[in-house]
């Protein structure tokens, strides 16, 4: 039973992550390979603060939101001035740098050994310890992030983002300043990933850099692509499918070492197959398929 609850918690965590990426990928139509960097930043903020200073959960989560948002703005602002595929390269660079910092700044992050013994969260006297408690907590924050993405999607702000996605020049000619809009979207996306990071750190109670590598970013991308970018539920569907399907492999008696490979192959092929046959993903609104921009 705990195992099923554990899977459910992972699904919720990854759903927060994928819908945070959706704010950038789905609404603005630009892919970021830095989601795991912000995820990791949130996790390390929670880890370092609660282990070294014993700060409560709520302070950690607020700090992570502020820090990830600020860093997202700092990275997003200059990055959005360059072309789409170079934006991907810029976020890729940021991801590699962030991983380097997690992995090598031994004094703070513990280097490759990571940080162990992160306490379970304490919230207004409620000690979150069992799986059910975590489902309530993470589910609550999941609903919060869905609400945020929904609000962004339906607000005038979100409509401008969609306009930018469909035709940047047109949006600009209507007097919208492109870069601030994109940057705010990117910062929101970064902050939401940071929230997921804090939850992850407090749930697993141990973090190390390997959980926040480039491959993790690509995994989050494939969740969004498979489920479908731009729609509210697409990334969630992607998270449900790509997190639970590999777990089913265990039940058909696949050895653990092979299962890890098959899991990765599954999301690699999901990425390739979606690009070829279904650029809009399963239920998405925005496809990464076609060249829309006029030359």
The span from the CA of 17 to the CA of 7, in Å, is 15
The span from the CA of 118 to the CA of 206, in Å, is 6
Task: Give the tokens for residue 153.
Answer: 């999607």
Q: Residues 56, 119, 139, 279: which binds other proteins (CB under 8 A)?
A: 279
Q: Nearest approach, Cβ of 164 to other proteins (angstroms)?
A: 15
Closer CB to other proteins, residue 154 or residue 169? 169
Q: Nearest approach, Cβ of 37 to other proteins (angstroms)?
A: 11
The span from the CA of 98 to the CA of 94, in Å, is 6
Q: Nearest approach, Cβ of 104 to other proteins (angstroms)?
A: 4
Is 190 within 8 Å of 66 (Cβ atoms)? Answer: no
Instruction: Give, in degrees to the nearest 5, the angle at Cα 251 between 133 and 1.
Output: 20
The span from the CA of 248 to the CA of 11, in Å, is 14
Residues 6+ apart with CB under 8 A from 295: none
Residues 6+ apart with CB under 8 A from 197: 38, 39, 40, 41, 42, 43, 44, 45, 46, 64, 68
Q: Residues 83, 150, 151, 159: which binds other proteins (CB under 8 A)?
A: 83
Residues 6+ apart with CB under 8 A from 177: none
Instruction: Point out which span in 60-68, 116-124, 239-247, 255-263 binds other proteins (CB under 8 A).
Output: 255-263
Q: Nearest approach, Cβ of 16 to other proteins (angstroms)?
A: 22
Could you say whether residue 89 binds other proteins (CB under 8 A)? Answer: yes
- Please compute Rg for the chain using Cα positions: 19
Instruction: Point out which span in 2-10, 40-48, 93-101, 233-241 binds other proteins (CB under 8 A).
Output: 93-101
Return the residues of window 156-195 that contact other proteins according to CB under 8 A: none
Return the residues of window 207-236 that contact other proteins according to CB under 8 A: 214-215, 218, 221-222, 225
Q: Residues 100, 113, 127, 250: which binds other proteins (CB under 8 A)?
A: 100
Is 209 within 8 Å of 102 (Cβ atoms)? Answer: yes
Q: Residues 38, 94, 142, 200: which binds other proteins (CB under 8 A)?
A: 94
Could you say whether residue 108 binds other proteins (CB under 8 A)? Answer: no
Q: Residues 56, 62, 73, 81: which binds other proteins (CB under 8 A)?
A: 81
Q: Residues 101, 245, 254, 282: which binds other proteins (CB under 8 A)?
A: 101
Q: Nearest approach, Cβ of 82 to other proteins (angstroms)?
A: 4
Could you say whether residue 254 binds other proteins (CB under 8 A)? Answer: no
Closer CB to other proteins, residue 2 or residue 291? 291
Is 249 within 8 Å of 195 (Cβ atoms)? Answer: no
Could you please report the per-residue DSSP string of 191-258? HHHHHHHHHHHHHHS-B-GGGGSHHHHHHHHHHHHHH-BTSSSHHHHHHHHHHHHHHHHHHTT--HHH
Could you say whether residue 88 binds other proteins (CB under 8 A)? Answer: yes
Provide the binding-site residues for other proteins, judged by CB under 8 A.
Answer: 30-31, 78-79, 81-86, 88-90, 92-94, 96-97, 100-101, 103-104, 214-215, 218, 221-222, 225, 257-258, 261-262, 264-265, 267-272, 275-276, 279, 288-291, 293, 295
């Amino acid at each position: 039973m705990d195992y099923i609850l554990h899977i459910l918690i992972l699904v919720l965590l990854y759903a927060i992550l994928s819908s945070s990426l959706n704010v950038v990928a789905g609404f603005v139509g630009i892919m970021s390979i830095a989601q795991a960097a912000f995820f990791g930043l949130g996790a390390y903020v929670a880890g370092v603060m609660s282990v070294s200073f014993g700060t409560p959960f709520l302070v950690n989560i607020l700090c992570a939101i502020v820090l990830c948002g600020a860093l997202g703005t700092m990275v997003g602002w200059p990055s959005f001035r360059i072309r789409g595929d170079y934006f991907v390269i810029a976020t890729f660079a940021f991801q590699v740098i962030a991983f380097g910092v997690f992995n090598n700044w031994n004094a703070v992050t513990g280097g490759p050994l990571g940080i162990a013994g992160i306490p379970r969260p304490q919230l207004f006297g409620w000690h979150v310890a069992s799986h059910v408690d975590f489902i309530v907590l993470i589910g609550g924050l999941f609903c919060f992030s869905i609400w945020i993405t929904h609000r962004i999607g339906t607000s005038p702000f979100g409509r401008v983002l969609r306009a930018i996605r469909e035709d940047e020049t047109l949006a600009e000619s209507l007097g919208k300043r492109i870069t601030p809009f994109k940057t705010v979207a990117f910062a929101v996306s970064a902050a939401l990933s940071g929230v997921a990071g804090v939850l992850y750190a407090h749930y697993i109670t141990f973090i190390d850099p390997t959980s926040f590598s480039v491959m993790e970013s690509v995994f989050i991308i494939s969740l969004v692509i498979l489920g479908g970018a731009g729609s509210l539920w697409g990334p969630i569907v992607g998270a449900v499918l790509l997190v639970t399907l590999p777990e089913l492999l265990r039940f058909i008696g696949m050895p653990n070492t092979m299962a890890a490979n098959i899991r990765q192959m599954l999301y690699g092929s999901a990425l390739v197959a979606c690009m070829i046959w279904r650029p809009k993903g399963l239920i998405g609104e925005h496809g990464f398929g076609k060249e829309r921009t006029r030359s």
